[in-house]
Amino acid sequence: MVTVLSFDGEELLGPKGLLAKTLSNYEYRPEQVEMSNHVYKALKNETHGVIEAGTGVGKSLAYLLPSIHYTVEEKKLAVVATHTITLQEQLFQKDIPFLKEVLPCEFNVEVFKGRGNYLCLRRWRELIQGRGNQLGLVDNLELLSRWVQETETGDYNEFPHAIPWELWSEIRCEKESCAEELCSHFGQCFYWSLRHRLGQAHLVITNQAMLLADARAEGRVLPSYDGVIIDEAHNLEEVATSTYSHELKREGFLAYYRTGTQLQATLRDIVPEYIIQDLNIILDELIREAGQYFAQMEHLITSYTVPLTEKNRPHFTQTSLPKHLRDIQDVLKECNLEEEGEVSGLLEQFALFTERLLTTLDLILLGNDPSFAYWAEIQNGEPALIAAPIRVGQLLEETLFEKTPSVILTSATLSTNQSFDYIQSQLGLKEASGLILGSPFAYDKQAILCVPREAKNPNHPRYAHYVAYLILRTLAYTRGGVLALFTSYSLMDEVADAIYPKLDEVGYTLFKQGDGPRLGLIRNFQDQPRSLLFGTNSFWEGIDLPGDALRAVVITRLPFTSPDRPVTRARLAAIEDSGGNPFLEYSVPQAILRLKQGFGRLIRTKGDIGGVIILDERILTARYGAGFLASLPPARFTRDLEELRLLFGH
């Protein structure tokens, strides 16, 4: 049943709307009005939606305004889920305060982060009563003590000083050591107080990981909601893969051991001594064997990733860790506490922790669930065993889309070749109203898209030399402000080595990923006009440099996902096994979305100009290249790199 529209985006966002009357420099964008109406109709009619909104549309206000209108009008709750903390903070600290000033209605908004962002008062009391001095962190404890008395949120990010990780890990809220409503601090708990406030809000701003954690936990994390807007939704498949994956790492067993030993101390005067002794013996055996097991893993993982196969799996399964966990389960069953209370709650959480760890161990070591890909890898110098879902679409369909009246996906990059078929298929979204909104920017006047005549295939033996040569030419034409995007560290390092001597001669500075923190590199690049920035992976998105700071984006090769990644290899194999074409059905659409993200770094405002230079000839010579070009904004196309110089009038 179609509902009469009671929200009109034109009244708020139109040239004579509320915002135009409030802001002297208001910029009317018809695309923003259309998007806001589309969002409202999807929420009101309880349908799903997919909206691609080009850079400059103003997505945030286009979904916040109808969401607030809908939740206030219907007395319901909606959730906004972002991928990055940056956007989450922008929404809550900038957009929401602005809307509270200009909108005629009152509404409540809460930000919800992961549990580990909040201080646990019980763990804090335990620390300062007995173990603070042992940590050698007296100065930090004094600062924290004052903060704990003053803070209203207990949010780690609001503490005005850096908190050493070894200290925060001792006092943060953890699921495994939380007695929940049985805790003596439950009434004052920062995390549970926030959970209570969420139920009174009109809008909850969280991240995609928390949204999916709630979906996976069947709604036990967030209060019941009627609508979800997922921004930066092109990342949702990756977030879902991570959320529904299982991992075995040394640090997981260390956390389990710490929780178990703390439980021992709590139980000491409550249960018979033999139970404490048994638990102590088994925990010691468990952590000793875990240490030996992961030390052995370091020798077995001879490359960055090692797929677990029938041939090598026996080397990874020679362990008694599952037996030790089952022995602990038997011991815990003997802890028959007469009264419900904090100790009972802690015992229950530790039993659940044991069950989750055992489930993960059995899944990865047995490897008999064909819906997962299994592999071992080195993460930050530490071995890890991983089981990741091959297809997340069915999981999202069952836990999110089927159970939520309205889910709206939005991003600047969701379509491939003017279609949402790929993204909907990957995410398990069967029925949704689609809307593609172009950017309000005049790309034909503001930007050029150049595939130089010298373009070559990346398999060319001197490809790195060619890339270095054309980056230097681009730099000469723009006189700085060049972002070069790579798909591998090896090519990036090879090109950097080739151009370093030349840069010294002409007085330019190269900032390269790996030479410092990401944000620091971007800031230095922005502050120094005669510079260039090299990056891979994370640099393809999330960089917002309006004005003269960024004048050209160089795409060194089409961004195909490496088939060496085990979960990617498994997804490609699954498509092939079902009779499909894995390259055209998976690899090409993935690369198109990634290329659109890279292209989107260039033009951020109506006053920006610049060029996107694609050095990979396959975009013109390969049969799939036309799909890439058709998906990009309508910049002026050229094969002559000299036009970049003319664009800047040099």
Tokens 């092939």: give the residue. 576
Q: Residue 73 pLDDT > 80, yes or no?
A: yes
Name beta bridge partners: 229: 80, 408
Q: Residue 159 pLDDT > 90, yes or no?
A: no
Q: Residue 596 pLDDT > 90, yes or no?
A: yes
- Which element (helix H / strand E) includes 366? helix 342-366
Q: Residue 84 pLDDT > 90, yes or no?
A: no
- 572 — pLDDT class (breaks 50, 70, 90): very high
pLDDT for 134 equals: 52
What is the average pLDDT across 400-411?
98
What is the average pLDDT across 150-177?
86
What is the average pLDDT across 249-272?
90
Tell me the pLDDT of the chain averaged across its residues: 92
| Six token digits for residue 492 | 């990036």
CA 237/CA 571 separation, integer angstroms:
12
pLDDT for 406 equals: 98
Per-residue pLDDT tens over the stretch 486-507: 999 999 999 999 999 999 888 9
- 3 — pLDDT class (breaks 50, 70, 90): very low
Q: Residue 611 pLDDT > 80, yes or no?
A: yes
- 4 — pLDDT class (breaks 50, 70, 90): very low
pLDDT for 135 equals: 52
Domains of the chain as residue ranges with CATH: 9-108+201-240+392-437 (3.40.50.300), 115-176 (no CATH), 246-389 (1.20.120), 443-647 (3.40.50.300)
- 136 — pLDDT class (breaks 50, 70, 90): low
Write out the DSSP string of 125-171.
Answer: HHIIIIITGGGT-HHHHHHHHHHHHH-SS-BGGGSSSPPPHHHHHHH
| Six token digits for residue 549 | 């700071």
pLDDT for 139 equals: 66
Write out the DSSP string of 22-47.
Answer: H-TT----HHHHHHHHHHHHHHHTT-
User: Which range is most confident: 167-176, 339-348, 441-450?
Assistant: 441-450
Per-residue pLDDT tens over the stretch 323-336: 999 999 999 999 87
pLDDT for 5 equals: 46
Of the candidates 520, 240, 567, 529, the one whose C-alpha atom is nearest the C-alpha of residue 375 is 567
Q: Residue 352 pLDDT > 70, yes or no?
A: yes
- Which element (helix H / strand E) includes 500? helix 489-506
Q: Residue 600 pLDDT > 50, yes or no?
A: yes
pLDDT for 265 equals: 86
pLDDT for 555 equals: 98
Q: Residue 561 pLDDT > 50, yes or no?
A: yes
Per-residue pLDDT tens over the stretch 633-648: 999 999 999 999 999 8
CA 527/CA 322 separation, integer angstroms:
54
CA 135/CA 335 separation, integer angstroms:
31
pLDDT for 193 equals: 93
- 157 — pLDDT class (breaks 50, 70, 90): confident
Per-residue pLDDT tens over the stretch 306-325: 989 888 888 888 899 999 99
pLDDT for 1 equals: 37
